[in-house]
Amino acid sequence: MNDYQVAVIGYGPVGATAANLLGRLGVRVLVVERDADVYSRARAISTDEEVVRIWQRVGLADPLAADMIAEKPIDFVDAEGRTFLSFTPKTFGNGHPPQMFLYQPALERTLRAGVGRYPHVEVLLGHECTDLRQDADGVELTIGASRKVRADYVIAADGGSSPTRTRLGIGFAGRTYEERWVVIDTKVRREWPEVNRMRFHCDPARPAVDCPTPLGHHRWEFPVLPGDDEAALVTPDGVLGLLANQGIGPSRVDVLRAVIYRHHVRFADRWRLGRVFLAGDAAHVMPPWVGQGMASGVRDAENLCWKLAAALSGADVDGLLDSYETERMPHVRALTRAAVAVGRVITERRRVVTALRDPLLRGLCLVPGLGSFVREGRWFPVTRYRRGFLAEAPGLRGARRAVGRHIPQPWVLDSLGRRVRLDDALGNLAWAVLHTGTGVGTATGTGAGFEAWRSAGVRVHELRPAGETPGSGALVDVENVLVDWMRAHRAGALAVRPDGVVYGAAAPGSSLTSSARPLSRSIISLDRDKEEPCRSTPSGSTGSRRTGRPTAAR
């Protein structure tokens, strides 16, 4: 028996999310973090509805959202400050606001407080993993100068400069942009009219980013232009000079810090080496223009953690752990391409191009259909897995179109008539089968139907349309969000993974078992501790929490 089932290296948002997910799944975890406290600089500034839904699955969506700003438009403005594109993201149906601004230090403290609910998760702050070696039975980690511990698996969420990735000899191919940026974080003293709007100032003379962050903070970003003295730009006078160009004087804000950084586009050559997995910036980095760097890492954690819990439960499914990179890599690459494209619009320096860009985009937004496609962010790459741990590869016809997609999350009436979010009704991080009526999905002549799924430990739920009455094993979709989605995808029954992705689907009247064979009990009957209230402050910061070994499968 190894000391831990999973060791997580790095305790930023990705590592803390992984620790919460694994704690929720009953996995015995060690977290190792070099810094003694939350990093004070706000790096990530926004997230989206899908990521908040992930945090919902560990009971932290509401306390996290309380410290966020939601439902604010994003404006692209020209050199004169006139808006030529106002971007208001359209929801993809995950049950949370589509765009939310955050203050990362506050977010990390809440995530760490969530980890404190799980006595089988040990946290070592102010400790560094200085070496690791793996064999057929696990991974040996060296903590500090000489402490040795062993884990069955390791998640390296230790940032873009990941020492773990370097020790493993994994390449990190891509490019680093030559242009450097000044990032200025401030505390608002006296508000101005646009304080709660995010604006991309697409001025060819000096582009800028002007972004609200919660809890009374605000951020600006400016490129370092040819001829600028970098050292002078981050002095108090240099910072005030940059802000003065945006109409912000010293009476408006207190400057907290100013740093210079570069944008990167890089991908690790592989995200898994034996029992060690890379996640977040350790696996991929992208420019910040669509706010998906941290969000992509949180998606990594969710995709990986339930699979690790299944493997620890004894699941022996070919390709289960390898499907992590297979599924996540294409989506991260698509988001990176979108970030690069948006960045080109914002940072264009050629005046002849901007003279064409501004009226073109302004006019484009007036075109029926096309304008809403641009303004509402329908071009945004949604999470969809075309290859991976799926019953069938998605096709273009029939119910197979649903496979590999995230199901939307409507409000439902549960069996007791309570109005709750779908994931809470299904049991967060649980496999589930959903069908739209009696007899749908039963196997003609075999008698299998849903019973094979039930016998494997999966709960089967009938999804009833709005206006009907809930009951035992039946939920009511109060606004027909998922009912309509299933109809649009020609699905009468769905087998849904713990991450909300459709594993298999069947058309109305067809057998779910013929298209999605029920999996073994070891992969779907994952143990989930009962939720406990999130404590107000992180606990166990000294890393002294230890308990006996919990089982990862019931």
pLDDT band at 527; cut points 50, 70, 90: very low
pLDDT score for 523:
63
pLDDT score for 441:
42
pLDDT band at 217; cut points 50, 70, 90: very high
Structural domains of the chain ordered from first start: 4-68+103-173+265-344 (3.50.50.60), 398-516 (3.40.30.10)
Q: What is the mean pLDDT of residues 443-468?
A: 76
Q: Is 28 exposed, middle or buried (0-12, 13-18, 19+ CB in 10 A)?
A: buried
DSSP letter, residue 450: T
Distances from the Cα of 353 to the Cα of 4, 187, 345, angstroms: 57, 36, 10
Strand partners, 100: 47, 70
pLDDT band at 551; cut points 50, 70, 90: very low
Q: Could you tell me how many helices (H) and strands (E) the chain has, helices first?
A: 16, 26
State the Cα–Cα distance between residues 345 and 35, nearest whole angstrom. Answer: 37
pLDDT score for 539:
36
Q: How many CB atoms lie within 10 A of CB 496?
A: 24
DSSP calls for 232-257: HHTSHHHHHHHHHTTT--TTTEEEEE
At residue 400, does pLDDT exceed 50? yes
Q: How many CA atoms lie within 13 Å of 498's alpha carbon, on the beta-carbon side? A: 26
- The whole-model pTM stands at 0.91
pLDDT band at 316; cut points 50, 70, 90: low
Residue 26 near residue 526 (C-beta atoms within 8 A): yes
Radius of gyration of the chain measured on its C-alpha atoms: 24
Q: Provide CB contacts within 8 A for 296, sequence distance 6+.
A: 280, 284, 286, 328, 331, 332, 335
pLDDT score for 393:
55
317 phi and psi, to 5 degrees? Answer: -120, 120
Strands across the sheet containing 411-413: 419-421, 411-413, 474-477, 459-464, 432-435, 493-496, 502-506
Q: Is 119 exposed, middle or buried (0-12, 13-18, 19+ CB in 10 A)?
A: middle
pLDDT score for 339:
94
User: What is the SS3 assignment for 508-540?
Assistant: CCCCHHHHCCCCCHHHHCECCCCCCCCCCCCCC
State the Cα–Cα distance between residues 318 and 399, nearest whole angstrom. Answer: 25
pLDDT band at 528; cut points 50, 70, 90: very low
412 phi and psi, to 5 degrees? Answer: -130, 160
At residue 546, does pLDDT exceed 80? no
At residue 554, does pLDDT exceed 50? no
Q: How many CB atoms lie within 10 A of CB 511?
A: 21
At residue 510, does pLDDT exceed 90? no
Among 385, 406, 398, which Cα is nearest to 487's? Answer: 398
State the Cα–Cα distance between residues 183 and 200, nearest whole angstrom. Answer: 14
Strand partners, 449: none
Buried b (16+ CB within 10 A) or exposed e, 394-417: beeeebbbbbbbbbbbbbbbbeee
Q: Report residue 410 CA to chain centroid gap.
A: 19
Q: Report residue 310 CA to chain centroid gap.
A: 21
Length of the chain: 554
Q: Is 232 exposed, middle or buried (0-12, 13-18, 19+ CB in 10 A)?
A: exposed
pLDDT score for 450:
84
Give per-residue pLDDT as tens, 83-92. Answer: 999 888 888 9
